[in-house]
Structure 1
Amino acid sequence: MSISMNKILLVLLIAALGISLLEAPLQVSAATTATSSPEGADDWGDSVQPFIDGIMNVHMDSNKIPGAVISIVKDGKLLFAKGYGHADIEKGSPVDPETSLFRIASTTKLFTWTAVMQLVEQGKIDLDADINSYLKTIQMPKTYAQPITMRHLMTHTAGFEEGGVGYQITTDPSKLPVSISETLAKHMPARVNPPGEMMSYSNYGTALAGLIIEEVSGMAYNDYIQQNLFDVLDMNYATVQEPVPASLKPYEVIGYARENGRFVTQPPTFEGGFRPAGSASVSAIDMTHFMIAHLQNGRFGDKQILKPETVELMHSPAFVFHKDMPAMDLGFYELRMNGMRVIAHGGADPLFNTELFLIPEKQLGIFLSYSGGEGSTAALGLTKALLNRYYPAPEIKFPPASQTPDESLQKYAGSYQFVRRNHTDIDKFYSFLVKMNIGASGDRLTIGGGDEQLTFARVGEDLFQDEGGNLIAFRTDESGKVTHLFIDFLSSEPLERTPVINQTQLWFPLMGLSLALFLTVLLGVLYRKRHTKAMPAAQKWAVRLAVVTSGWAIATCLGTFVIVLNMGLVDRLSRITMSLRLFLVMPITLAALTAALLFFSVLSWKNSYWTLPKRVHYTFITLAAVVMSVFFYHWNLLGWQFG
């Protein structure tokens, strides 16, 4: 599954707190490791093990990680590999880099994309042909004039919305295996952007590529990957099968969660029909074979999985967000680390975090995987520490700040939302709170606030840099209006301007005022019981309806955050819980009560119910109920809208 959502949350925390979570572990590591940087940039020498040991030990303790593994390749050879912690705590089994199978989630996509390029080499797939010409069991709707191509799938620019609530994963192995084609036909997301326009990371798109592999090659996806990649690369401890085959079961690393100060086992998650996007379990040593092949023009030993020109094409920019920012290659996303171009792919599920980094110019590959805890933070921190040691970052010249307001920066300020989100299903609601705010102060752009605010200075056209060297860039339309935001270390997740209707700055005040009005009704009825009893029947019913609607609206609002937002990630993506189904009765009931309230509001003015101030108050209560109903409608909580 990839949920690259861990990375998204990391960025949101940075935005909210104004601190670099990526570098915090590095500062600890530097303090506990006495080794100084070697003089020769490529002279890794014998000090690499104690350096990594020192960082790993700190990270595993501070990030509550039960098991981890790392492997590094350099110049076509294995440089370093080691396991840390336990593969199985109860059995006391240590992590073995040669045999321990870590679930790598979305890093699986690199196997899928490599397989696609093999078929491109063979002339069986054209990167720029309509994918419907390859699909036999399903067809993509012709929402836009432009067809979806394999190039669009590989760059995540097909234009699919994000989805997954209730079906992305399963925790029940008895439901496996699952047909890829049946899964994709049943859970087809809407096409919400024209192909090629903007990137939106898509598990569905990768699974679709896996289906094309099946239908073009005539082989099941699992079999194709096994025979054309794993067997060829001597990857004996690797599989995309779910659950892992019986022969590999003894080597499977157990995933853990942290509860009450100790590690507890959790049921593994499975991708099912989405397996081309995230089902692989692989050992760290076997991943070195794959990295070496990609760094050595498709060659591993005397085996060739891709031609050199195909590897070069796959590793070249295929979708460019901004000329000075990392691009998206064919399957790999680019990063900039210490001034070097890195091609990479990570993966995360609820129990595992993985990162794979390749630096072609240094012939260097780094693979890290963690079986719990804050693995994504640890992986990026360790990689940054290694690069700082062996390939120090160039000095950043940060221009002095000016307090004179730069009016030209105001066009960048505002709220941004991730392009990767849902539009048509209940999943949409989960993007409600996921926003990033950019401020403008003096001649700087800002993220966060207070003493820990991040500030960015202009260093180019629509390009800004902070003191740590991190870049953000903006895309503008023909009129000069800002449309998108890019962050260099989150290059696979662009953001776009948040329309007013999606902004929390709109909804929080409206919802807060509405709840306050509802409370005045509930409190008021306690003080005016006797007065209400003396009213004519129609007025009495109007008051009772206002009371019921107010109480129901408050309960529905509370239920939204207690039931919907509070769902665990595994529950949310694996099933539609009964509590969620029952909750969704509440917004529908609220909408019905609101319609009745509107009717009585009109009657109150037509027939001059009560005093003028009371009629005005009743009207405001009605408007508050309308606001609540519109909120639930807009965020797809009005009805059972499942993908």
Structure 2
Amino acid sequence: MLNIYQLEQQIAEQMQATQVPGLTLAIVKDQEVIYARGFGVTSVEDSSLAITPQTLFRIASVTRPLTGTALMRLVEQGKLDLDRPLKHYIDWLTFHEAGIEEQITLRMLMSHTSGLRTAGEHFGPRHPEALEAYIRTALPTFELTAPPGRFWAYSNPGMNLAGYLAEVVSGQPFTRLMQELVFDPLQMRRTTFDPLVAMTYPLAQSHDVRDDGTLCVQHEFAESVPYYPSSFALSTVLDLANFASMQMNSGSFQNQQVLTPASVQAMQTKQVSTYTLSDAGYGLTLGLDTYKGIPIVEHKGSISTFGSRFVMALDERVAIVLLYNRINAAFAVDHLISTMLDQLLDLPAQFPGPQPIEPDTTVWPLYTGSYLGNWRGLLTISVQNAQLCLDMNGKTLPLHALKRDLYFGKIPESEDRLSIGFPLEGSEPAEYILVDTLPCQRIERASEIVPDLDQWQAYCGTYVGGVDVLTFRVEDGQLIIHASSDQKEVTCIPLDTARFACDWGVFEFHVAQDGSVPWVTYGQAYKIMRLDA
């Protein structure tokens, strides 16, 4: 049974300890909202309002299953086919690699198996034609992470393309289509993509931390029409509770069949493994996992400093929706959700995790080598003293087998465990590995880079992106990055004269003709502009 007093105390204490200004929560059981409450405020400044279950938040990637629902309705209408190449619908479509438009399908876009890399743009064009312009001009510049269908690789551009595909076959703007196919039937009365509509309701703001440790509002609200389908809906926990009710009731909401049971089942069926310790996977715009043996369907998101969690235990007909307006690594949102699931589902306090097996050492030669990941940095798989090991940016972890192609390592000075998947193609050496679901590609290591400290000094300074403020400095012959959001630092490993790897991923400095450094690219996806240029 849910201990509401204990839960509310835990939320309030966590928010105060980690400087989270506002949070809202709804819990659904058997089609009924059994709990809904807001905590804190929309803003720490003078425009502040108390958070309620009706307060709007940016929901980031929780937008995807909403977009996915519209796409499945178009599939039901015969306007789209999950397995037909995209070229059939958009004859001018091109990608960075020639001929890919004849291979990628809607199913691949919705399951993140298209091979398209991710990218993000928190501040972009607002005009209605911007989504098509993005597909015509920006999409062809993105190199593939991997061949289509190879493995799961999260992609904002892929979901944006799926949203544009919906525009093409319906003949309607994406936002109008979402209103007609999803928001209106589910009575999601405040959900919108338009911040000019959202500002007429109570609206949460994202927050930064000043140098003195106090909070301030981000006075530039993230907005980019090309990324609407993947990341930019604004919603409330009560509106999302309606969406959860439909998903948990075979597509029916208040006696109206919004999706067929077959479409809902397709969305909730594993299309691809993500190589995690819990054997998680991804359906069609929904993540699939288990918690203490209970199947979970979920999605999470983050944008600016907004965080969102959407969790459904389908067999128990329970859903949790949680939105908050400042992401902080110290804010134990996973623990909060675990506490609620434990109490709502009467689960044991302890549950045995996956147990190691005897490894198949015959495939180790296919695994060993160096890999580079945009979000993981520099990694090396090696065999040391008859033990498969992972070196991750200078830290070595012994690896233990869970399956022939799935291993885990314990993170030093932590109880956390890291999953490493090896998606092999026949008997060839692994070209990619997945480290906690994030792809890393095999590379040939160059000879050791001799530090050019004068050039590194030119990189030093403060850079501002959509999520954080990063400061680079040289100390004791090493390049150090400091993040203002959580006051953490990381040491970099040079890959060449302009690229560096670290635990946060790969950073590449752009050097202009005059020798200045106006920006640094993070993960080949995000341009972080220099503040002191």
TM-score by length of 1: 0.64
Residue pairs, 1:191-590, within 5 angstroms:
191-192=143-144, 193-241=146-194, 243-245=195-197, 248-259=199-210, 260-266=212-218, 267-320=220-273, 325-374=279-328, 378-389=332-343, 390-392=346-348, 394-396=351-353, 412=367, 415-418=370-373, 421=374, 434-436=377-379, 457-464=400-407, 472-479=420-427, 481-486=429-434, 490=436, 493-501=437-445, 506=446, 509-512=448-451, 515=452, 554-560=453-459, 562=460, 566-570=462-466
Residue in 2 that maps onto 1:126: 81
Q: What is the aligned partner in structure 1 of residue 493 from structure 2? A: none
The structural deviation recorded for 1:350 is 1.9
The Cα of 1:113 is off from its aligned counterpart by: 1.0
Going by fraction, where is helix more abundant, 1 or 2?
1
1:177 offset after TM fit, Å? 4.7
Q: Which residue of 2 aligns with 1:8?
A: none
- How far off is 1:320 after superposition? 3.3
- SS of the residue corresponding to residue 511 of structure 1 reads coil
State the shift of 1:255 in Å: 1.4
Alignment-derived partner of residue 182 in structure 1: 133
Paired residue type of 1:213: A
Match of 1:61, SS? helix
Report the identity percentage. Answer: 22
Aligned residue identity for 1:478: G
Aligned residue in 2 for 1:76:
31
Matched letter for residue 351 of structure 2: P
> How far 1:471 sits from its partner (Å)?
5.1
Deviation at 1:72, TM superposition (A): 1.6
CA root-mean-square deviation: 3.8
Query: Following the alignment from structure 1 to structure 2, what is the Cα–Cα distance between the partners of residues 254 and 75?
Result: 32
Contact residue 353 and residue 376 of structure 1 kept, 8 A: no
Preserved contact between residue 430 and residue 442 of structure 2 (Cα < 8 Å)? no
Q: Which amino acid aligns with 1:568?
A: V
Q: Which amino acid is the alignment partner of residue 215 of structure 1? A: V
Q: Which residue of 2 aligns with 1:424?
A: none
Q: Which runs of 5+ in 2 are unaligned?
A: 470-495, 501-506, 514-520, 526-533
What is the aligned residue count?
468
* Distance (Å, rounded) in 1 between the aligned partners of 2:420 and 2:387: 12
Could you tell me which amino acid in structure 2 is paired with residue 457 of structure 1? H
Please give the residue correspondences for 1:3-42 in structure 2 after superposition, counting only pairs within 5 Å. none
- Bigger-Rg structure (1/2): 1
| Distance in 2, Cα, partners of 1:80 & 1:571 | 31
Structure with more strand by fraction = 2
Structure 2 counterpart of 1:185, one-letter code: R
Report the 3-state secondary structure (helix = DSSP H, G, I; strand = E; otherwise coil) of the residue aligned with 2:65: helix
- State the Cα distance separating 1:157 from its structure 2 match: 1.8
Q: 8 Å contact 1:65–1:374 — kept in the other structure? A: yes
| TM-superposed deviation, 1:335 | 2.4
Q: CA deviation at 1:92?
A: 4.1
Structure 1 stretches lacking a partner, 5+ long? 1-43, 422-430, 516-553, 574-626
CA contact (8 A) 1:348 1:354 kept: yes
Give distance in 1, aligned partners of 2:86 and 2:215: 45
1:334-360 CA deviation, whole Å, 9 max, x = no partner? 223222222222111122011212222
Shift of 1:200: 2.1
In terms of mean alpha carbon deviation, does 304-313 or 365-374 score higher? 365-374
Question: Within 5 Å, which residues of 2 pair with 1:39-118?
Answer: 44=1, 47-89=2-44, 90-97=46-53, 99-118=54-73
Shift of 1:377: 5.1
C-alpha distance in 1 between matches for 2:4 and 2:118: 41
For residue 639 of structure 1, report the CA deviation from its aligned partner: 7.0
User: In structure 1, what residue type is equivalent to 2:216?
Assistant: V
1:150 aligned residue: 106
Name the residue aligned to 1:426: none
Q: Distance between the aligned counterparts of 2:387 and 2:331, measured in 1?
A: 27
Aligned counterparts of 2:6 and 2:251: Cα–Cα separation in 1: 31
CA distance, structure 1, for counterparts of residue 142 and residue 354 of structure 2: 45
Give a deviation string over 1:500-551, Cα, whole Å, max 9, x none. 34xxxx57x4132xx3xxxxxxxxxxxxxxxxxxxxxxxxxxxxxxxxxxxx
Q: What secondary structure is seen at the aligned counterpart in 2 of 1:88? A: coil
Q: What one-letter code is carried by the residue in structure 1 that aligns with 2:208? A: A
Does the C-alpha gap of structure 1 residues 339 and 629 become closer, same or farther in structure 2, counting only changes over 3 Å? closer
What secondary structure, in the 3-state scheme, does the structure 2 residue paired with 1:567 have?
strand
Q: SS of the counterpart of 1:210?
A: helix
Which residue identity is paired with 1:569? G
CA contact (8 A) 2:152 2:273 kept: no
Change (3 A) 1:73 1:179: same
Displacement of 1:195 in angstroms is 1.5
- CA offsets 1:3-54 (integer angstroms, 9 cap, x no match): xxxxxxxxxxxxxxxxxxxxxxxxxxxxxxxxxxxxxxxxx3xx43223213
Q: In structure 2, how many angstroms separate the alpha carbons of the residues matched to 1:378 and 1:362?
A: 24
C-alpha separation between the residues in 1 aligned to 2:433 and 2:147?
19
Deviation at 1:373, TM superposition (A): 3.5
- Gap change, CA 1:572 and 1:271, over 3 Å in 2: farther
Measured in 1, the distance between the counterparts of 2:499 and 2:311 equals 45
User: Which whole-Å deviations, capped at 9, do the CAs of 1:595-633 have from their partners, x for residues lacking one?
Assistant: xxxxxxxxxxxxxxxxxxxxxxxxxxxxxxxx74899xx
Q: Is the 8 A contact 1:109 1:206 kept in 2?
A: yes
Paired AA for residue 298 in structure 2: A
Amino acid across the alignment from 2:427: S
Is residue 60–residue 308 contact of structure 2 (8 Å, CA) maintained in 1? yes
> Structure 1 residues 477, 135: closer, same or farther in 2, change over 3 A?
closer
Q: Is the 8 A contact 1:244 1:281 kept in 2?
A: no
Taking structure 1 as reference, are residues 291 and 244 closer, same or farther at Cα in structure 2, changes over 3 Å only?
A: farther
Change (3 A) 1:310 1:120: same
CA contact (8 A) 2:59 2:308 kept: yes
Q: Tell me the equivalent position of 1:525.
A: none
